[in-house]
Chain A
Amino acid sequence: MKSMVLILAGLALVASGAFALDADYGLTLDSSTFLSSGVIDTTYESEYKAAVWGELFQATDKGGSLDLTAQGSYRYTADRPYIVDLDLLRFTGLFSEAMGAGTAVELKAGRFNFSDATKLILDQTLDGVQVSLLFSGFQVRLAGAYSGFILNPSSNVRISADDYLEVNDNSVFFGPKRLITQAFIGSDGFALQALAQFDLRGDTGGEIVNTQYLGIAGVPRLIPNLYLDYHLTASYGQSTVGDKTTNLISALAGLGFRLYAEELAASRAHVQVTYATGFTPVVLLLNNFSFDDFRPISQPTIGLAFSPRLANLLYLDVGYSFRPFVNNPSPSLSNIEPLVGARIFFRDPVPLLVSGTPADILVNDLNPNSTELYLGTEIDAGVMARIFSDLGMSIQGGVFLPSTGDSAAFTSNRGIGFVLKIDVSAAI
């Protein structure tokens, strides 16, 4: 026993000499309170989260590094009083000059966030591997991941009807099981990306949906301070119900501008139009093909007071934020950031043009007799502040003004929606 201890101690010493790991750790506390009214009923939700993280870091030759980071958390909500989750378990290896001078290879493995270039198709913590080949001015990235070990309340992978049925089902422990692959090549100005997800429900699913995406995206600088923001994605998928398989064709597009004027109180403004296709009833090749709702792999949050699925939707998003005390020596004051924004929502006009009726959109109190495309407008305002380096908070309020009436998109049952969201986050 004694010799074993000595051997282990010796190995530890050798290891500590060969790998001078630097360690760090910490605790974060988050509180999020969400008040809403006028949508269905007045609701009040609070979420409290305490997370412990730790990191081991090893610098290597030529500026490379090895890093292992883990974070576990306890989350409390009224619906789910105990959610213990592994938020992050990521190994990152950065191998500098692995393919010659000015290049690097980055390997990530474990549980971490995967996202596409737009963050509208995929933005979700998953378990997998990602390899990035980094060159001067562009990179190539390949990734593969599995979504079936993410806890159901933490999973935003919702594609099929079965996925949505499980959203609030407390008996379902893990999120939808899917294999997700990703390839990316490009830079800030132009990138080509491909994604695919494969439904692994097998025979247990009522509908099996596999989807593939091919698209371009970029945020090139037009003139100093002004950037163009564009993306275009074509999606092809297969929906299998029983013995029948329907091929799904859909698209996602966006075009806008971003203005960054640091000299004007760190002003930032954006205007963006986003379009996601809806179901269009046209018969193609014996009804085996369909223009359908766009189905992202993970559902993005579009608005504060009104956030429908990213399908059958056309919306204009404008926003402005600034830091009025940006030049103040106090970081607490300089980081105060008021912001205002608005979003104007429409249904996809293509189904109306093709068939004379707009496609259904999955929102409450939709007027079934209406052909109106305009859904409503959301107006938001808020303040975000990093008060200290280890304490931040944000207060955001939003109002959704639905289009209601006899011929409007919503019935008169749909009232004005109000939302107030307060977040506080602290690090120890």
Chain B
Amino acid sequence: MARFGDSESWALHPEGRGIDPLAAQNLSVLEQGDSRLSESPGISNRHPDGLVLNCAELWKPNKEVRMTKRAMFLMLALSAIGVPLLTAQSNEVLDAVLGEATLSYGNAAYLVGTASGHLPETITPAEAAPRLEQEGLGRPGLGPTDPVTLGDFSYMLTRAFGIHGGIMYWVLPSPRYATRELAYLGIISGPAKPGMPLSGERALRILERMLHRKEAAR
């Protein structure tokens, strides 16, 4: 809670002082499985004030890690009710994405393009990459099977979904500031380094939160 004399509550530095892009990614909030250990005030949903006892986000057993891929797909599909583009995507593509330790550019383009409505759901991942580039939303230079980083995926998402970003993103639109923006908005949870590899499972979780945000804005 914001308190007087406490200039730390409105802005976040690495140690909770002032603004800092590390805030949403600091201290290993683990996106995979949503196990969390966070000291970043304001991140916690369980306890609105975050760091009440300096341990507000206690270690929670990693139950979701044991979730099967199919169950995860069902969760994603159910969570995206009202977003027919995602629910209509083929199980095969989603299963392929979930199986990727590092998301390929083709699948990333497919996910971003179809979920944002820029590409038809009937398109294949191999076709999606060049089509997204034609729309000015892709990452030129990458082949459909090339791995994408978290920064690449974030940049594609912010452009495809029309996220405006902060001052630095406006001045220098790039994967770096796109990643920070999505971390700030809570669409990326956990470590958010632009250059880090991105698994298919994590990409779907990020996409799910982006779709929720889109739905909430309607």
> Which residues on A are within 8 Å of B, measured CB to CB?
20, 22-24, 26, 28, 30, 32, 49, 51, 53, 55, 57, 59, 62-65, 67, 69, 71, 87-88, 92, 94, 96, 101-104, 106, 112-113, 115-117, 119, 125, 132, 134-139, 141, 184, 186-188, 191, 217-219, 227, 229, 258, 260, 262, 268, 270, 301-304, 307, 319, 321, 329, 331, 337, 339, 341, 380, 382, 384-386, 388-394, 396, 398, 421, 423, 425-428
Interface pair A341/B4, CB less than 8 Å apart: yes
Find chain B residues with CB under 8 A from A329 CB.
217
Does B117 count as interface, using CB distance less than 8 angstroms?
no
B74 contacts partner chain A, Cβ-Cβ < 8 Å: no
- Cβ 8 A contact of B59, one of A49, A136, A191, A386: A136
Contact residues in B for A116 (Cβ distance below 8 Å): 54
Is there contact, CB below 8 Å, between B7 and A394? yes
Chain A nearest CB from B5 CB (Å) reads: 4
Closest-by-CB residue of B relative to A135 is: B59
B196 at the interface (CB under 8 A from A): yes
Top-3 shortest CB links A-B:
A134-B59, A102-B61, A22-B193
B32 within 8 A of A: yes
Give complex CA distance A329, B181 in Å. Answer: 15
- For chain B residues 30-67, which have a beta carbon within 8 Å of chain A? 30, 32-33, 35, 37, 47-49, 52-56, 58-62, 65
Alpha-carbon distance A393/B48, docked complex (angstroms)? 21
Give every chain B residue within 8 A of A71 (Cβ-Cβ). 13-15
| Interface pair B59/A65, CB less than 8 Å apart | no
A391 touches B19 (CB 8 A): yes
Secondary structure of the A contact surface, majority rule: strand
Q: A32-B7, A382-B4, A423-B7 are in contact. List 11 more A-B contacts (CB 8 A).
A: A23-B193, A49-B18, A57-B191, A88-B14, A113-B15, A191-B53, A218-B53, A219-B53, A258-B49, A268-B2, A390-B166
Determine whether the beta carbon of B59 is less than 8 Å from that of A104: yes
Cross-chain contact A20 with B10 (CB below 8 angstroms)? no
The answer to whether A339 and B35 touch across the interface, beta carbons within 8 angstroms, is no
Interface string of B84-97 (1 = CB under 8 A from A): 00000000000000
Asked if A57 and B196 make an inter-chain contact with CB atoms under 8 angstroms apart, the answer reads yes
The residue in chain B whose Cβ has the minimal distance to the Cβ of A392 is B11
Q: How far is the CB of B78 from chain A (nearest CB, A)?
A: 23
Contact A136 B60 (CB under 8 A): yes
Of B7, B22, B59, B197, which one neighbours A139 at CB under 8 angstroms?
B59
CA A92 to CA B15, docked complex, whole Å: 13
Asked if B79 lies at the interface with its beta carbon under 8 angstroms from chain A, I say: no
**Interchain residue pairs with CB less than 8 A apart (11):** A55-B22, A184-B55, A187-B55, A188-B52, A307-B5, A321-B1, A389-B165, A389-B181, A392-B11, A398-B4, A427-B20
Considering the complex, give the chain A residue whose CB is closest to the CB of B150. A22
Contact: B180 with A425, CB < 8 Å?
Answer: no
Count chain A CB atoms within 10 A of each CB in B4, B11, B35, B60 and give the residue with the most.
B4
Q: Which residue of B lies closest to A379 (CB)?
A: B4
B101 to chain A, nearest CB (A): 12
Instruction: Report the separation of the CA atoms of residues A34 and B181 in the bound assembly, to the nearest whole angstrom.
Output: 30
Chain B residue with Cβ nearest A427 = B19
CB pair B10–A392 under 8 Å, yes or no, is: yes
Q: Are B18 and A28 in contact, CB atoms less than 8 angstroms apart?
A: yes
Task: Using known A-B contacts A53-B14, A138-B58, determine if residue A302 contacts B5 with beta carbons closer than 8 Å.
Answer: yes
Chain B: CB-nearest residue to A342: B4
In the complex the two chains form, is A26's CB within 8 Å of B56's CB?
no
A57-B196, A69-B14, A138-B58 as given contacts; A268 in contact with B1, CB under 8 Å? yes
Give bound CA distance, A88 to B27, whole Å.
14
Q: Is the CB of A304 within 8 A of B10?
A: no
Task: Return the contact of A134 from the options B26, B49, B52, B58 (Cβ within 8 A).
Answer: B58
Q: Given contacts A26-B21, A96-B62, A390-B166, are A303 and B197 in contact (CB under 8 A)?
A: no
Task: Report the separation of the CA atoms of residues A177 and B32 in the bound assembly, to the nearest whole angstrom.
Answer: 42
Inter-chain contacts of B47 with A (CB < 8 A): 188, 219
* Most B Cβ at <10 Å: residue of A119, A262, A302, A388: A388
- Chain A CB within 8 A of B110 CB: no
Question: Is the beta-carbon distance between B11 and A389 smaller than 8 angstroms?
Answer: no
Whether the Cβ atoms of A386 and B15 lie closer than 8 Å is: no
Chain B nearest CB, measured from A395 CB (Å): 11
Q: Is B173 part of the contact surface with A, judged by Cβ < 8 Å? A: no
Given known A-B contacts A380-B4, A389-B180, A139 and B30 have beta carbons under 8 A apart: no
Note all chain A residues with C-beta closer than 8 A to B168: 390, 427-428
- Within the complex, what minimum Cβ distance (angstroms) separates B110 from chain A? 25
A88 to B53 CA separation, bound complex (whole angstroms)? 22
Residues in B whose Cβ lies below 8 Å from that of A141:
55
Quick one: closest A residue to B56, CB to CB?
Answer: A188
Among candidates B48, B55, B195, residue contacting A22 with C-beta atoms closer than 8 Å: B195
